[in-house]
Amino acid sequence: MTIQGINVELTNYCDKQCWICHKTKTGFHSKPMNMDMNILKKLSLELPHGILVYFHYYGEPFLYPRLGDVIELFKNQITTIVTNGKLIIKKFNEIVPNLDSLCISVFEKDPEQEEQFHLIHDFLEMKKAQKPNTIIKLIGDVDPERYKIFNKHALLTRRTLFERKFVKKNDLPLITDYGICSDFLHKPLVNINGDVSICCVFDPQKMGVIGNLNDNSL
């Protein structure tokens, strides 16, 4: 079996009770636990290089006490986190510039939305163009105009709440939570002349060409 990406549940703790979360909706409670570092060390040695490693499930990954050490363990993979953003300043030095991709979820009717907005502002001002590449994901009825001030150092995307599913809305581009095209990672194209493209979309202007096998190795 070839693994192309893997979710790793660092912790099942969370510091929010978001009304859109399935755990909150169902009232599910489990014994608070953090993943043992020995499991993470073993996993980091067994995973292929260059795959996506998502450090999240239904807990808040920033609550993991040794987050910086974990990111270092997986430096040969592409590391990504989805977060509520409450601890992005406190954990700044653990993720910048080591984490590859960060997605901050902003959802409608969140009583902490104003505080979150200022945390995002301060984080991006500190981070500037350094990694992690940052995506701000607006979920539900959130005004995108306010968040466009972050366009210099973050991408904006949106999910619409519809019958418990997130679907595309036209006013913002649909961007993956990890900010990378899956075709680029898993299914690139080698052209007839040796050009390597990020995918097989018709591209007469060769905007997706990243190199040529006559000049470089794959």
Q: Where are the alpha helices (DSSP H) in 6-76?
A: 22-26, 37-46, 67-73
**Mean pLDDT of all residues belonging to the chain:** 87
Q: What is the mean pLDDT of residues 187-212?
A: 83
Q: Before 111, cis peptide (omega within 30)?
A: no
> pLDDT value at position 160?
80
Beta strand ranges found along 72-188 (DSSP E)? 78-83, 101-107, 133-139, 155-162, 165-167
Q: What is the mean pLDDT of residues 155-169?
A: 67
What percentage of the chain exceeds 70 in pLDDT?
93
> pLDDT value at position 4?
80
The class (CATH top level) of 5-181 is alpha beta
pLDDT at 53 over 80: yes
C-alpha closest to that of 71 among 46, 34, 101, 48? 101
Identity of the amino acid at 91: K
Q: Where are the alpha helices (DSSP H) in 56-148?
A: 67-73, 92-95, 113-127, 144-147
- For the ranges 24-28, 33-37, 166-170, 207-211, which has the lowest average pLDDT? 166-170
Under the banding of pLDDT at 50, 70 and 90, the label for residue 164 is very low
pLDDT at 201 over 50: yes
> For residue range 126-137, what is the model confidence (pLDDT) as tens digits?
999 999 999 999
- The residues of the chain that CATH labels 3.20.20.70 are 5-181
> pLDDT value at position 171?
67
The Cα 168–Cα 137 span in angstroms is 12
Helix (H) or strand (E) holding 9: none
The Cα 105–Cα 83 span in angstroms is 6
> pLDDT value at position 170?
52
Q: Which residue would you say has higher pLDDT here, 177 or 127?
A: 127
Q: What is the mean pLDDT of residues 103-130?
A: 97
pLDDT at 87 over 90: yes
Do the beta carbons of residue 182 and residue 196 sit within 8 Å?
A: no
- For the ranges 99-103, 183-187, 190-194, which has the lowest average pLDDT? 183-187
pLDDT at 188 over 60: yes
Q: What is the mean pLDDT of residues 28-57?
A: 88
> pLDDT value at position 166?
47
pLDDT at 125 over 60: yes
C-alpha closest to that of 212 among 186, 182, 192? 192
Q: Before 48, cis peptide (omega within 30)?
A: no
